[in-house]
Amino acid sequence: MARFRLLPDEQQARSPLLLLWREFARQHSAMSGLVLFILFFLLALLSPLLTPHDPYLQNDALLLIAPSWSEQGLVQYPFGTDDLGRDMFSRMLVGARYTFGIALITVVGALLIGLLLGVLAGMSKGVKSSALNHVLDLALTIPSLLLAIIIVAILGPGLINTLWAIMLALLPQFVHSIRNAIAEQLNQDYVTAYRLDGASNWQVLTRLILPNIWERLTVTATMALSTAILDIAALGFLGLGAQAPTAEWGAIIADSLDLIYVAPAGVALPGLLIFTAVLSVNLVGDGLRNAMKKRREN
Amino acid sequence: MILYLLRRLFLLVFVFIALSILAFSLGYLFPGNTLQNFTGMTDISAELATQLTAEYRLDSGYIQQYIAYLQRIFSGDWGLSFASKQPLLQEIKILLPATLELAAYALLVSFFVGIPLGIIAAIKPEGIVSRIISALAIAGYSIPIFWWALLLIMLFSIGLGWLPTAGRIGVLYEIPHVTGFMLADILLANSQHQAEALLNALRHTLLPTLVLATFPTTVMVRFTRDSMLDVWEQSYIKTARAKGLNRAQVLYRHALRNALLPVIRQIGLQFSTLITLAMITEVIFSWPGIGRWLIDSIYQRNYPAIQAGLLVISTLVISVNMLTEILHTLFNPLARKR
């Protein structure tokens, strides 16, 4: 005889967020990605307090010191110094601020603007919605580097100017995914039921739609973050983004490129850091996606 | 279907109009003299300036100027390059095929490597092979392309000395420009050193293609894998299995065809990223394509070139986008209803 149960199983009675976390924590790769991500985040926040030397101080007594794991290295300079005698280790730490931190700010900015436009496109119907979509389709087709080139041509090179370019390049995917998510939500029965109860558009949006789509938004944001880091580094490398003395990782690679035979660490280390940062973001994003899928299956 | 095509066509026209307005407004937005930005001539004498102003309708309203701009674009007068003083359209005609060649090879590699790997990874999602493929895919997805290119150059060109680092072909070979695609041009040119030239060009192409193909291949692997896993859960697969088809038959007749549909769409969506990456690859390998030319243009403040580059590259990306979307709809009747 089927027993009447007022409350579902203990497993299902937990909050969705907790279920998500349990599925997430079960994946080793995702957890290691999360640890790395938190490390980079803390580094971006605290790096000025952690640097052993001034990253911009040029010391002509200590030019091109090898990293400390080689015979000629000094223990005070773990990654050696560059051709102007600046401590590479401090520069790497501060670089997290520029490459990782600015990318994070860019993504948050794009997310907020995307949320606004996506909600407008998703909640409105007819001409307004389709016009917005078509303008976005246009923006989607301009490659991000080309957009950056145009903005740099208008405003001049610099980290902040490329930030706008990357934000603009990221925006369409946010708006598209938010609009699609909202359209999907609006078809749900509980939205109709809530509307029959007399809920206004604003109430439907804030009480039903946003709580239901924010997880998907997080996944989109992690994907955007990995693109943003790669773009900032690439623009720094090409000399369009962060300018010469700034310790942005891509710019450091471009700086060290002519000394690649003498000091290969100057190219290898910042590249490895960019790679690790992007990898950590991607691992977290993939882990979240998998966890959401598994939770739905259970 | 015809209604769908008409709607797409309408959208295409709309997007191109918006694009041309953007390109036109750049003539005003860029620093410097508007007349110089439009013509590409740097020192214009006073009487030439009045003549050009009349010709470009810079004395009348923006609408007339825009119409004059459109007329110039369609008649092939795109202005001159600040740097070389050559007509821009001529330069682009020589440069664009090089970029297309590189991007086409990278896309081909991503098909023939990425899709099979994705299918293999989907067969046993928890197996060791699948895990290795997924790990490689996420690593390839995360690597900064310029650093990856430098690593490969260090290893294969400088360390081992196997492959050249720059250019499309050795300077000893002179290949007449016919199609712009180096390999096709070599085959068309009837020289006695054809085989050597072909080998040389292939050696030059190998490393840039490998670098550029990394990202699309990993995207293909991830996407094919996800799409396969998704399709494998569908009820028609269960039906086919229940009817007694074996794994290979189900895979080929039902799963693969449905799983590869969204992959077609993905090509269009990833194409703009591919072009961005191609531009960076061209800079590193001194590949004489439109990307390197554009990045040189920004160093030289060559505004007319950037304006023309925007038009050409965006047109290319929009066309590819539209084409893949139409193909997707053609193959997938379900998508037509929306």
Q: Tell me what pLDDT residue B39 has.
A: 76
CA triple A113-B141-B313, angle to 5 deg: 65
As for the ipTM of the complex, it is 0.85
Q: How far is A138 from chain B (nearest CA, A)?
A: 6
Nearest to B306 among A149, A274, A286 (CB): A149
Structure-block tokens of residue A24: 């997430």
Q: Tell me what pLDDT residue A126 has.
A: 66
Interface check for A275 against chain B (CB to CB < 8 A): the answer is yes
Q: Tell me what pLDDT residue A111 has.
A: 92
Nearest to B317 among A141, A234, A279 (CB): A141
Report percent pLDDT > 90 for chain A: 15
Q: Tell me what pLDDT residue A225 has.
A: 92
Are the Cβ atoms of B276 and A233 closer than 8 angstroms?
Answer: no
Judge contact between B104 and A234, C-beta under 8 A: no
Are the Cβ atoms of A142 and B317 closer than 8 angstroms?
Answer: yes
| Integer Cα distance of A283 and A208 in angstroms | 29
pLDDT over threshold 70, residue A137: no
Interface check for A230 against chain B (CB to CB < 8 A): the answer is yes
Chain A CB contacts of B297 under 8 Å are 149
Q: Tell me what pLDDT residue A283 has.
A: 92
Residues 73..132 of A with a Cβ closer than 8 Å to B: which?
none
Q: Tell me what pLDDT residue B174 has.
A: 73
Q: Tell me what pLDDT residue B184 has.
A: 77
Average pLDDT over residues A33-42: 92
Interface check for A140 against chain B (CB to CB < 8 A): the answer is yes
Chain B CB contacts of A146 under 8 Å are 275-276, 279, 294, 309-310, 313-314
What is the pLDDT confidence band of residue A9, given thresholds at 50, 70 and 90?
low
pLDDT over threshold 70, residue B213: yes
pLDDT digits (tens, 9 = 90+) for B16-36: 888 888 888 888 888 877 777
Report percent pLDDT > 70 for chain A: 90
What is the pLDDT confidence band of residue B332, given thresholds at 50, 70 and 90?
confident
pLDDT over threshold 50, residue B146: yes
The residue whose two tokens read 């909202």 is A182
Are the Cβ atoms of B273 and A146 closer than 8 angstroms?
Answer: no
What is the pLDDT confidence band of residue A41, given thresholds at 50, 70 and 90?
very high
Closest-CA residue of B relative to A239 is: B299
Nearest to A154 among B19, B29, B309 (CB): B29
Are the Cβ atoms of B272 and A140 closer than 8 angstroms?
Answer: yes
Count how many pairs of residues, chain A against chain B, have C-beta atoms within 8 Å.
121
Q: How far is B317 from chain A (nearest CA, A)?
A: 6
What is the pLDDT confidence band of residue A138, given thresholds at 50, 70 and 90?
low
Are the Cβ atoms of B298 and A282 closer than 8 angstroms?
Answer: no
Three-state SS letters, chain B: CHHHHHHHHHHHHHHHHHHHHHHHHHHHHCCCCHHHHHHCCCCCCHHHHHHHHHHCCCCCCHHHHHHHHHHHHHHCCCCECCCCCCEHHHHHHHHHHHHHHHHHHHHHHHHHHHHHHHHHHHHCCCCHHHHHHHHHHHHHHHCCHHHHHHHHHHHHHHHCCCCCCCCCCCCCCCCCCCCCCHHHHHHHCCCCCHHHHHHHHHHHHHHHHHHHHHHHHHHHHHHHHHHHHHHHCCHHHHHHHHCCCCHHHHHHHHHHHHHHHHHHHHHHHHHHHHHHHHHHHHHHCCCCCHHHHHHHHHHCCCHHHHHHHHHHHHHHHHHHHHHHHHHHHHHCHHHHCC
pLDDT over threshold 50, residue B169: yes
pLDDT, averaged across chain B = 83
Nearest to B272 among A141, A240, A253 (CB): A141
pLDDT over threshold 90, residue B188: no
Q: Tell me what pLDDT residue A36 has.
A: 92
Q: Tell me what pLDDT residue A1 has.
A: 47
Closest-CA residue of A relative to B274 is: A143
Q: How far is A251 from chain B (nearest CA, A)?
A: 12
Q: How far is B78 from chain A (nearest CA, A)?
A: 18
Region of residue A8 (phi > 0: left; psi between -120 and 50: alpha; otherwise: beta):
beta
Q: How far is B195 from chain A (nearest CA, A)?
A: 35
A123 or B286, which is more confident:
B286
pTM tops 0.80: yes
What is the pLDDT confidence band of residue A32, given thresholds at 50, 70 and 90?
very high
Range with lowest mean pLDDT among A20-29, B114-123, B186-195, B252-261: B186-195
Average pLDDT over residues A44-51: 83
Q: Tell me what pLDDT residue A134 has.
A: 66
Closest-CA residue of B relative to A233 is: B144
Are the Cβ atoms of B298 and A240 closer than 8 angstroms?
Answer: yes
Judge contact between A34 and A287, C-beta under 8 A: yes
Count Cα atoms within 13 angstroms, Cβ side, for A247. Answer: 28
Judge contact between A173 and B48, C-beta under 8 A: no
Are the Cβ atoms of B147 and A135 closer than 8 angstroms?
Answer: no
Chain B CB contacts of A145 under 8 Å are 275-276, 279-280, 291
Q: Tell me what pLDDT residue A128 has.
A: 66
Chain B CB contacts of A225 under 8 Å are none
Closest-CA residue of B relative to A260 is: B154
Range with lowest mean pLDDT among A24-28, A92-96, B58-62: B58-62
